[in-house]
């Protein structure tokens, strides 16, 4: 671990120290702060510098260095008084879907430009109450709709990862398309920032895979908790019955530490459970001895790449070697999950997004009357993908189609939920699947002609949201081109602890996968 940042002008030593401080894990940083090896201000300044040097990645849409330094100073005062809190002095990035009081919150959309929430989301409030430091707001797909971060009104995030042998750097001319890779989405800024060491961990949200897929694409760890574990209050809504916030972090332990602080009962969100938050970190290292891990045969989808298949087998072998019993299980309604999700999610989105009318929030385009004001504002404010979802959602909810689509999709949702219930009733503790059907793809490579091509990314993740269960993505290896691949662990409702325990076994067995080269540095 890095030594104390020394005053003086030795530029090289300083750069090394910035790298050292930003390459700590959250747990290491916490211990270093406690041992006074470095101060919260030093740690924060190192991250501010890293963020400034990485603008080529477009991970942050808003940097808040002044706020970060003020928060770090407050942390130092509490540390000096012996009043350190669980995340004292830890610099974090915040997905732009979380309302932050007085700090512009746009959900990746033009329609929210200029919106400064008069309140703080429960998740971010919990983090600040635990002493964390905000570095800024992270880029994302518009209203969290997407799998590549390309639907953001603030331009795509560039993944810190590159295919082996590709020489595209920050200073290289030429188009971003086809050369740079996507970090995944919708929490692309969160995943890229964690992978590129631009924060120690980040908040993210997951409606159909938006925490797990970008985590898998960037070699980071992400967990979507059980529906109701984390409050949705103050988080911009996409599909309310599926949305759940969780962390993206550099390893399993850090994700456990983050989730403990993010989660809380909350009277302001009626779907949030009134259950104490376990000490998730205590579950890390518990192992999998005696646990029963299910391998669902329906996830062996047609055309699955041999690389993903090998990864999955490898993960199974690791868990078996650590003492778990492996059983084949069946989730027969899996194949209906994706089409059902793409009815339920847009239906809820079309209703949630009705509030952006140019009167209450953000952007306003004036018209000759109120109707024209609505039309002009929504036409100018929403991007293509969001408009597509609103149209699909409105269609499936309209009289005459409601029974044919929406009701059917809800019935399928019940069947998917029941599939999982039966597997868990048979004594299975967790389920292991691939996190994504492939490694990261290039910017502009997918979905421009046929949106379904992009939707297929969510094939392994949407079932988990439909059933309201917890799911963890953990890096498990690299593909032939040197890009990260992840595995997914799906747990019983409110049993995130087993996911952290099993995730740690995979992380240990996989060993530390290589880090992306810092080619983006300005």
| Residues contributing to the site for ligand GLN (CB under 6 A) | 144-147, 186, 206-210, 238, 345, 458
Query: Would you call 39 a catalytic residue per the annotation?
Result: no
**At which residue do the structure tokens 């999982």 appear?**
420
243: left (phi over 0), alpha (psi -120 to 50) or beta: beta
CA atoms within a 13 Å half-sphere pointing along the CA-CB vector of 183: 33
Catalytic residue among 186, 231, 261, 264: 186
Catalytic residue among 95, 137, 224, 446: 95
Tell me whether residue 88 or residue 243 sits nearer to ligand GLN (CB atom): 243
Tell me whether residue 208 or residue 477 sits nearer to ligand GLN (CB atom): 208
Tell me whether residue 84 or residue 123 sits nearer to ligand GLN (CB atom): 123
Tell me whether residue 30 or residue 212 sits nearer to ligand GLN (CB atom): 212
Write down the least CB distance from residue 421 to ligand GLN, Å.
23
The residues with which 434 forms a beta bridge, in sequence order, are 487
- Report d(CA 109, CA 140) in Å as an integer: 9
Query: Would you call 186 a catalytic residue per the annotation?
Result: yes
Cβ-contact 234, 254 below 8 angstroms: no
Write down the least CB distance from residue 215 to ligand GLN, Å.
12
Query: Would you call 121 a catalytic residue per the annotation?
Result: no
Counted residue by residue, the chain has a size of 522
- Report d(CA 141, CA 301) in Å as an integer: 27
Which token pair is 166?
A: 């590709």
- Report d(CA 245, CA 449) in Å as an integer: 31
* Among candidate residues 156, 149, 210, 489, the one with its CA nearest the CA of residue 341: 210
Tell me whether residue 40 or residue 236 sits nearer to ligand GLN (CB atom): 236
CA distances 90 to 78, 84, 118, 200, Å, are 13, 11, 24, 7
Which token pair is 107?
A: 């959900």
List CB contacts of 452: < 8 A, sequence separation 6 or more: none
Of all residues in the shown chain, the one whose CB is closest to ligand GLN is 210
Write down the least CB distance from residue 185 to ligand GLN, Å.
6
Tell me whether residue 153 or residue 345 sits nearer to ligand GLN (CB atom): 345
Catalytic residue among 109, 210, 264, 350: 210
* Among candidate residues 162, 506, 508, the one with its CA nearest the CA of residue 317: 506
The catalytic residue positions are 95, 186, 210
């Amino acid at each position: 671990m890095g030594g104390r940042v020394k005053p003086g002008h030795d530029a090289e030593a300083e750069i090394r120290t910035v790298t050292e401080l930003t390459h700590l894990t959250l747990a290491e940083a916490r211990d270093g702060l406690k041992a006074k090896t470095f101060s919260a201000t030093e740690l924060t300044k190192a991250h501010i510098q890293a963020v400034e040097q990485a603008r080529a990645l477009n991970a942050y849409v808003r940097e808040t260095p002044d706020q970060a330094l003020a928060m770090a100073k407050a942390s130092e005062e509490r540390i000096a008084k012996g009043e350190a809190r669980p995340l004292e002095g830890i610099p974090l990035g915040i997905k732009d879907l979380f309302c932050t009081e007085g700090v512009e919150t746009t959900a990746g959309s033009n329609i929210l430009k200029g919106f400064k929430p008069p309140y703080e989301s429960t998740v971010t409030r919990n983090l600040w109450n635990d002493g964390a430091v905000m570095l800024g707001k992270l880029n994302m797909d518009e209203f969290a709709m997407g799998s590549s971060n390309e639907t953001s009104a603030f331009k795509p995030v560039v993944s810190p990862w590159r295919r082996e042998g590709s020489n595209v750097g920050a200073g290289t001319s030429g188009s971003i398309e086809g050369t740079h890779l996507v970090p995944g989405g919708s929490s692309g800024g969160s995943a890229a920032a964690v992978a590129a060491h631009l924060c120690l961990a980040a908040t993210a949200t997951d409606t159909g895979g938006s925490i797990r897929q970008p985590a898998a694409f960037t070699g980071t760890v992400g967990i979507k908790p059980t529906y109701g574990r984390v409050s949705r209050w103050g988080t911009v809504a996409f599909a309310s019955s599926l949305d759940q916030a969780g962390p993206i972090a550099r390893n399993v332990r850090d994700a456990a530490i983050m989730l403990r602080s993010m989660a809380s009962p909350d009277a302001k969100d009626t779907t949030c459970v009134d259950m104490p938050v376990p000490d998730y970190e205590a579950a890390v290292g518990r192992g999998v001895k005696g646990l029963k891990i299910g391998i669902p045969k329906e996830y062996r989808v047609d055309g699955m790449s041999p690389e993903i298949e090998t990864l999955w087998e490898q993960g199974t072998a690791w868990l078996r070697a650590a003492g778990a019993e492996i059983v084949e299980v069946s989730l027969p309604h899996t194949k209906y999950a994706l089409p059902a999700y793409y009815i339920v999610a847009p239906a809820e989105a079309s209703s949630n997004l009705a509030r952006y009318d140019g009167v209450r929030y953000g952007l306003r385009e004036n018209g000759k009357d109120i109707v024209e004001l609505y039309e002009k504002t929504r036409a100018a404010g929403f991007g293509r993908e969001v408009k597509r979802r609103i149209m699909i959602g409105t269609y499936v909810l309209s009289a005459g189609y409601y029974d044919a689509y929406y009701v059917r999709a809800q019935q399928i949702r019940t069947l998917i939920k029941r599939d999982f219930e039966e597997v868990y009733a048979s004594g299975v503790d967790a389920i292991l699947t691939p996190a994504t059907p492939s490694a990261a793809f290039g910017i502009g490579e997918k979905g421009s002609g046929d949106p379904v091509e992009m939707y297929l990314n969510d094939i392994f993740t949407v079932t988990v949201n439909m059933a309201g269960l917890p799911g963890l993505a953990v890096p498990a290896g690299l593909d032939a081109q040197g890009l990260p691949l992840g595995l997914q662990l799906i747990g019983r409702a409110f049993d995130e602890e087993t996911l952290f325990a099993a995730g740690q076994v995979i992380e240990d067995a996989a060993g530390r996968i290589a880090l992306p080269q810092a080619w983006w540095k300005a």
